[in-house]
């Protein structure tokens, strides 16, 4: 899926309030919400700071989410300079654990957001949504739709270049 600017989004959805912010951050800082680890212990994503952070919002029932998981699983090994968090939207930990096991996925930093609060905070109602946060927390990019290896790497490289300036 493409990243649209404000002008393009308002041309496609002129009457939609959400279109005015279709791909720009609704919350300029990283979402400050509490999520749960799969063992049900609470954590705030802001505790994963120190490096740029990529937060993937996904669901087990979402076909594009399922297709991009292997790409996202490989990303932390290729980019140790960036932290990755995988936040399932609305499903419980048992469903998420079963899905990861069945698919043979081994991901660090898997969380659940049973209330879907992060999606609301960043004004994103589609999945997958991937949030790119700078080292100190500001949300620098929101991508709605499936990422393949090349598009993920391009976004990570742009974030790294911007951070190093």
List the structure tokens of 32: 């400050």
146 three-state secondary structure: coil
Domains in the chain: ranges and CATH = 6-30+42-164 (3.40.30.10)
As a whole number, mean pLDDT of residues 34-51 equals 88
Are the C-beta atoms of 33 and 118 separated by less than 8 Å?
Answer: yes
Q: What is the pLDDT of residues 124-165, one digit of tens each?
A: 889 999 999 888 778 888 999 999 999 999 999 887 666 555
Q: What is the pLDDT of residues 73-94, one digit of tens each?
A: 999 999 999 999 999 999 999 9
Q: What is the pTM of this model?
A: 0.80
């Amino acid at each position: 899926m493409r990243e649209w600017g404000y002008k393009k989004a308002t041309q496609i959805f002129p009457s939609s309030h959400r279109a005015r912010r279709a791909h720009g951050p609704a919350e300029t800082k990283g979402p400050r919400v509490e999520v749960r680890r799969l063992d049900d212990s609470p954590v705030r994503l802001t505790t994963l700071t120190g490096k740029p952070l990529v937060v993937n919002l996904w669901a087990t029932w979402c076909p594009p989410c399922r297709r991009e998981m292997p790409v996202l699983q490989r990303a932390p090994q290729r980019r140790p300079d960036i932290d990755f968090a995988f936040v399932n939207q609305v499903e419980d930990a048992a469903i998420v654990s079963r899905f990861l096991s069945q698919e043979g996925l081994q991901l660090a930093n898997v969380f659940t957001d049973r209330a879907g609060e992060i999606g609301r905070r960043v004004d994103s109602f589609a999945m997958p949504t991937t949030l790119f946060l700078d080292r100190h927390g500001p949300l620098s990019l929101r991508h709605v739709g499936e990422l393949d290896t090349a598009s993920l790497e391009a976004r990570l490289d742009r974030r790294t270049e911007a951070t190093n300036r």
